[in-house]
Chains A and B, each alone.
Chain A
């Protein structure tokens, strides 16, 4: 099976930088994904790391260390619209098929 740990809540102010950490335990690991979900909405794909290192997409960056079973999502120049839940998700092999297992989610609250 898989398990993931991420903080339940993070608060920050507009313009700041915030890092959301994720540690995982899994077998058959393929990679770590990040999804954003606004209240009442669907999860939206943000990023995916299969190899160690940093991936940058605009204001968002994601990092993975496979040896440490650890990753993080970095959000820069925070905006009010970034207030949402952020899920890390492990992509792993399950009976020969790739599945996603989600962490419990981190609620990010951005204040003015």
Chain B
């Protein structure tokens, strides 16, 4: 069984640039969630996709956007990068979007903004 995979593992960008992060969900999982984790803090929910539809969004500005593909893989796009966007970006998948379903995380993408 293949787990959650994310790419790239590390990325360095400058302010104002745009970035796309990618995630492949665990086999059999149709729900993908994205989280941002700043150093020393717990992950913060960005948004979730269930069967290609956005299924909830956290307190992040519209320059954070995403999509989910028919194979349930997902992308997170961030426009107009700011210094505060430097963080570990985590993708998690679950069997479906039910509240009791555990989420399993990928290894994350560490994004540094210069």
Q: Do A and B come from one complex?
A: no
List B residues at the A interface (Cβ < 8 Å). none
